[in-house]
A and B are shown apart, each in its own frame.
Chain A
Amino acid sequence: MLEKSKDVTLLLIEDDDVDAMTIERSFLKQRIANPIIRAYDGIEALELLRSRDITRPLVILLDLQMPRMGGLEFLKELRADENLLDLVVFVLTTSKSDEDMLSSYRQHIAGYFVKGEAGENFLDIVNVLDSYWKVVHLPG
């Protein structure tokens, strides 16, 4: 189990450097050793995934408001891709709007986090993720 959880990679799709750094710092602080791969927007993330430079098992943490390709658009592409539609995605955004949340869940996300409510330094999210991949079996 422990062996397995160490293998899980976090793909962080986030245009804000500080937010990305916050996650990375929290990982360090909580002594979570899982690798974090960062993409700045949807397009870059799709390229990464399709090039298979990234190893599975994989969990994606996705921002909605991004330049070039936003989170909702990315989700649509992802679910349309035969090879990628099984990936687990969490959304992390500033938007509290119901419309954004509903649209996200329609694309089968695993959870929807709002940045302002995610606790000091996103620690709540980081803890959830850590617990999540310790107990959940993910597709290889």
Chain B
Amino acid sequence: MVEELKSGEQRNKLIHAGQMHLVHWLIIFLSIVLTFSAWYYSKSQLNQKLEAKFQRNAEQVVNLVKERMGLYENALWGGVAFIDSVDNDITYTQWLAYSTSLKIDLVYPGINGIGIIYNVQLDQMADYMAKQLALRPDYSLHPNHQESEYWPITYVEPAAPNKKAIGLDMAFEANRYSSIKKARDTGQAQLTAPITLVQDAKKTPGFLFYTPFYQGGRKPENIEERRKSIVGVTYAPFIMKNLMQGTLAEQNRHVSIQISDAGELLFDDNSDEGTQDIDTNPLFSKEVDAELYGRVWKFLIQSNLSFREESTSNQSSFILIGGLTIDGLLLGLFLFLSRANRQALLYADEMTVALKSKTKHLEKSNSDLEQFSYIASHDLKSPLNAIKQLVGWIKEDCQDILPEDSKKHLNLLSQRSQRMMKLLNDLLDYSRINRDEFKNERVNLNDLSQDILQLLDIPQSFTFSAPDIDINIPQAPLEIVLRNLISNATKHHDKKSGHIVLSYDSNIEFHTFVIEDDGPGIPEEFHDKAMEMFQTLQSRDKVEGSGMGLAMIKRIVEHYQGSIAIDSDGERGTRVTIKWRLNTQ
């Protein structure tokens, strides 16, 4: 019953283990959440890093442009300083020398040239033209305009690429004219709004850079003074595209740039058809307003494809894919384990069913056998009884006429029938031994032994001793065991008198009974044989016996989970040790 409960519990445990439980799902859910968090975290980290990088790039671009403009400003102020240092008007050769010494091509990439524009009032015009024509007969002003003053480009070096600009009057066009006036009025370097340079055949956007100089190298404090004493400006024309060459070239950037001035486009990577790097869906985008010499340039800076390429990191994807793979494996493992448990359960159930049917079969064949031996011995007894009776009558009736030999034969006949009766009775007993379950009783070993001695009719010449103690044990089977042992000890004794001792001991597991006699003993090679059914070690004609005694003892003792051991050297004395499991009931 307890075992059944236990196995039921174990089975329930297996059933339990064979299912996916909340905790399994929770683990999987948590690990998925963890995976996504790690993915999200790493992605946002990456994004932050990228954004910082983009900001750096954008700043760098604006700073580079500012730096470059600062360099050009210096060159122009250098021109102003040179003019201020010369007392009379600068000659063409002097300016050529100055501009050549600047090494524009090398030092100032992006600049188209450096030149001087003089301010010429209407009344000074004849004088100015005369001076210029004296040195350069082909010099002419262009185009015509309605303004009351002139700002003609007088010199510009290198002259060859700027040929179209020489003699160009800045007053002809609003952007050029307003900025030059602003330069005059502020005394500061000034840029024009976007214009198209006359010398640019491609008509791309550009601008001019002016720095004013005044009479006598002075730096007047106010507008009136400045207007009164203005002489001209040093200037540099720029084609925007060229300005953005060098370190600002597209291949050196990870951002694409669009620069506009008051809504007019100055520069756009996009307009360049050769571009490969524009990202139609930029990762980052930024607008920066940069104040540059009286103008506000609006920079629209966007990350480009090379930025995307460089920033594309699979780290977070790896985390996501790796994490999800692990989650999948975990789920697989759980499913596999629960499946394995279910299979184990199935197998165990199958085995249980098989075992049960086997047990049932065994129990049935066992009970069949018992039934058979019971019926057989029962039915065999009645004809045997009849034989015995008839022999008795013949002896009775024919006492006077039977020859002596026949009388002897009749005696043998009745003796054999007697023996057969005993065999059948013992067989019957043997088959019935363990049919009934006996409860523990309080048994006094000495009292029980005395009863047995009386029943067996042991000769007075035999002495017997047993301990006078009470033990708890099923009485009926113990009695059969002791009776057979005592009977054996006296029956097989080879002398007229003998001594038999029963001793008892017990531990936590077993009762131990030892019966010792001083009979002839049993040779060791026959110890096993002695315990087989129907085996006798002496002729039945010498010692009456069915050969069932020890077999019966063995059957009883083994039923009570004990054992029997024979200890004898075959010369003198036999010692039989019976172990009988204590029943706690």
> Per a CB cutoff under 8 Å, which of B382, B392, B393 touches A16?
B382
B386 lies within 8 A of A18 (CB): yes
A94 lies within 8 A of B389 (CB): no
- What residues of chain A lie closer than 8 Å to B378, measured between beta carbons? 94
A18 lies within 8 A of B381 (CB): no
Q: Interface SS of chain B: helix, strand, loop or mixed? A: helix
Residues 30-47 of A at the B interface (beta carbon under 8 Å): none
Complex CA gap A19/B383 in Å reads 10
Among residues of A, the one whose C-beta sits closest to the C-beta of B397 is A25
- What residues of chain B lie closer than 8 Å to A94, measured between beta carbons? 378, 381-382
Complex CA gap A121/B378 in Å reads 19
Please count the residue pairs between chain A and chain B whose beta carbons lie under 8 angstroms apart in the complex: 20
Residues 13-35 of A at the B interface (beta carbon under 8 Å): 16, 18-19, 21-22, 25
Is A6 interfacial (CB 8 A cutoff)?
A: no
Is A115 interfacial (CB 8 A cutoff)?
A: yes
Chain B interface: which size bin?
A: under 10
- What residues of chain A lie closer than 8 Å to B386, measured between beta carbons? 16, 18-19
- What residues of chain B lie closer than 8 Å to A18, measured between beta carbons? 385-386, 389-390
Complex CA gap A140/B262 in Å reads 155
- What residues of chain B lie closer than 8 Å to A19, measured between beta carbons? 386
0/1 string, A77-94, CB within 8 A of B gives 1: 000000000000000001
Among residues of A, the one whose C-beta sits closest to the C-beta of B382 is A94
0/1 string, B234-245, CB within 8 A of A gives 1: 000000000000
Q: Interface SS of chain A: helix, strand, loop or mixed? A: helix
- What residues of chain A lie closer than 8 Å to B382, measured between beta carbons? 16, 94, 115
B389 lies within 8 A of A22 (CB): yes
Chain B positions within 8 Å of A, measured between CB atoms, are 378, 381-382, 385-386, 389-390, 392-393
Complex CA gap A56/B554 in Å reads 57
Complex CA gap A94/B393 in Å reads 21
For the A-B complex with A18-B385, A116-B381 known, give 8 more contacts whose Cβ atoms are closer than 8 Å: A16-B382, A16-B386, A18-B386, A21-B393, A22-B389, A94-B382, A116-B385, A121-B392
0/1 string, A91-116, CB within 8 A of B gives 1: 00010000000000000000000011
CB distance from B417 to the nearest CB of A (A): 13
CB distance from A122 to the nearest CB of B (A): 10
A-B pairs, top 7 by smallest CB distance, nearest first, are A18-B386, A18-B389, A22-B389, A94-B382, A18-B390, A25-B393, A16-B386
**CB<8 Å pairs between A and B, sample of 10:** A16-B382, A18-B385, A21-B389, A94-B381, A94-B382, A115-B382, A115-B385, A116-B381, A121-B389, A121-B392
- What residues of chain A lie closer than 8 Å to B385, measured between beta carbons? 18, 115-116
- What residues of chain B lie closer than 8 Å to A121, measured between beta carbons? 389, 392
Complex CA gap A107/B390 in Å reads 34
Complex CA gap A115/B382 in Å reads 9
Complex CA gap A21/B392 in Å reads 12
- What residues of chain B lie closer than 8 Å to A22, measured between beta carbons? 389
- What residues of chain A lie closer than 8 Å to B390, measured between beta carbons? 18
CB distance from B371 to the nearest CB of A (A): 13
CB distance from A28 to the nearest CB of B (A): 11
Complex CA gap A20/B581 in Å reads 50
Complex CA gap A116/B393 in Å reads 18
Among residues of A, the one whose C-beta sits closest to the C-beta of B379 is A94
